[in-house]
């Protein structure tokens, strides 16, 4: 299933009055509170309680067409954590007086998004926390995942710096010359800044380098996701009862050439660096070395799934993997000798 096909399972579809499909970009920013008495006393199902939602709606030409803002009345944590208080300008009294129940705000917000939309956020956290809050209130049906979205922080790095850089919103606003009012960490202000930054990202990068949020994982083999980016392929598996079951799955273990898609002979068999990341190198007669990396993740319900990336690599990268494998073998051998 390619990216276009996979996208259809995670955005709402409709038609305009003229019968043509229309999509909105929804630039989302959240502010949340956490347990003021330490992690040991937090509600494990809701470590971060959303207290403010700000969003900007853009059309396909990335023109701003509407904004959304709402305060949420706290129902889990009734005191503002000191770290939250340091960055936001909301008081508990203001939240209680002006805020509404999360269930009401969530339904209103998703309805405001429209029938077909793609979220855009600055970083990777907002969508996860939105879905966690929805799950806490048993509102998962409002937003079916996995969610394909635009991480503007990542897109900025790809467009203007290097792919691995991750800058603050303040840095991006200053770099791009976006006018600001000096106020950050307020949901609607930050959403507007992020929307302005999105407007300055080349369209081909937006369409090509989208991200996938896996708070909600594929539930069946038919829902598993395989997307092909410019230089690598990503596969997201369904859930399994154990980590061992993930690693025994044929699709997870397969080493296929990124260039032609054929199964290839393993030059370096699968090995783990820390129990969560697994590596293998294959060789394709036509395209050369193929590197596979599998990350085993824990899903929200406690089960396990895999994210596998596959790409073509040069001999130098193969040498690094071989060196890592030898080092880990020697390390395990020394540990075994010490225990003996």
Spell out the domains of the chain, with CATH numbers in brackets. 3-213 (3.30.420.10), 222-339 (no CATH)
Span 238-266, average pLDDT: 96
11, pLDDT greater than 80:
no
Please state the rounded mean pLDDT for residues 265-286.
92
* Beta bridge partner(s), residue 50: 32
330 or 232: which leads in pLDDT: 232
Q: Per residue in 98-152, pLDDT tens?
A: 999 999 999 999 999 999 999 999 999 999 999 999 999 999 999 999 999 999 9
- Give per-residue pLDDT as tens, 142-170: 999 999 999 999 999 999 998 888 999 99
More reliable by pLDDT, 19 or 198: 198
User: Higher model confidence: residue 55 or residue 87?
Assistant: 55
190 vs 273: which has the higher pLDDT: 190
pLDDT at 337: 76
- How many beta carbons lie within 10 A of that of residue 223, not counting itself? 15
Kind of pairing between the strands at 288-298 and 304-313: antiparallel
Mean pLDDT to the nearest integer, 197-202:
98
**Helix axis angle, 102-113 relative to 125-136, nearest 10°?**
130
107 versus 91: which is more confidently predicted? Answer: 107
| Res 307 pLDDT > 60 | yes
Cα–Cα dist 165/170, whole Å: 14
The yes-or-no verdict on residue 9 having pLDDT over 70 is no
CB-based contact 32:185 (threshold 8 Å): no
Give the 3-state secondary structure of 42-82.
Answer: CCCCCCEEEEEEEEEEECCCCCEEEEEEEEECCCCCCCCCH
Condensed to tens digits (0 to 9), the pLDDT of residues 33-49 reads 999 999 999 999 999 99
| pLDDT value at residue 340 | 63
Report CA 319 to chain centroid distance, whole Å. 31
Stretch 186-214: mean pLDDT: 96
Q: What is the pLDDT of residue 158?
A: 96
Tell whether the model's pLDDT for residue 324 goes beyond 50.
Answer: yes
Instruction: Give the residue-averaged pLDDT of 170-174.
Output: 96
- Is the model more confident about 318 or about 181? 318
What is the average pLDDT value for the chain, to the nearest integer? 91
Sign of CA dihedral 96, 99, 105, 109: negative
């Amino acid at each position: 299933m390619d990216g276009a096909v996979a996208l259809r399972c995670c955005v709402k579809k409709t038609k305009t009055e003229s019968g043509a499909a229309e999509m909105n970009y929804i630039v989302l920013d959240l502010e949340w509170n956490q347990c003021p008495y330490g992690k040991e006393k937090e509600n494990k199902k809701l470590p971060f309680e959303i207290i403010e939602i700000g969003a900007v709606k853009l059309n396909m030409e990335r023109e701003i067409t509407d904004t959304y803002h709402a305060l949420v009345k706290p129902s889990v944590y009734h005191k503002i954590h000191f770290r939250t208080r340091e960055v936001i300008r909301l008081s508990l009294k203001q939240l209680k007086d002006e805020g509404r129940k999360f269930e009401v705000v969530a339904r209103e917000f998703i309805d405001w998004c429209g029938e077909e939309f793609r979220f855009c956020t600055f970083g990777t956290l907002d969508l996860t926390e939105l879905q966690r809050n929805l799950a806490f209130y048993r509102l998962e049906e409002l937003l079916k995942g996995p969610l394909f979205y635009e991480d503007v922080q990542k897109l900025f790095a790809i467009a203007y710096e290097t792919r691995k850089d991750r800058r603050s919103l303040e840095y991006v606003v200053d770099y791009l010359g976006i006018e600001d009012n000096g106020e950050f960490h307020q949901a609607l202000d930050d959403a507007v800044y992020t929307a302005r930054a999105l407007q300055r990202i080349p369209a081909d990068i937006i369409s090509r380098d989208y991200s996938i949020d896996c708070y909600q994982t594929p539930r069946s083999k038919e829902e598993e996701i395989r997307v092909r980016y410019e230089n690598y392929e990503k596969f997201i598996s369904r859930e399994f009862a154990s980590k061992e079951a993930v690693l025994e799955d044929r699709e997870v273990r397969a080493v296929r050439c990124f260039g032609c898609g054929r199964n290839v002979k393993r030059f370096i068999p699968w090995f783990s660096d820390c129990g969560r990341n697994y590596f293998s190198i294959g060789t394709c007669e036509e395209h050369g070395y193929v590197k596979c990396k599998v990350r085993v993740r824990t899903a929200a319900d406690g089960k396990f799934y895999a994210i596998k990336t596959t790409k073509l690599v040069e001999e130098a990268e193969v040498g690094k993997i071989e060196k890592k494998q030898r080092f880990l073998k020697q390390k395990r051998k020394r540990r075994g000798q010490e225990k003996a």
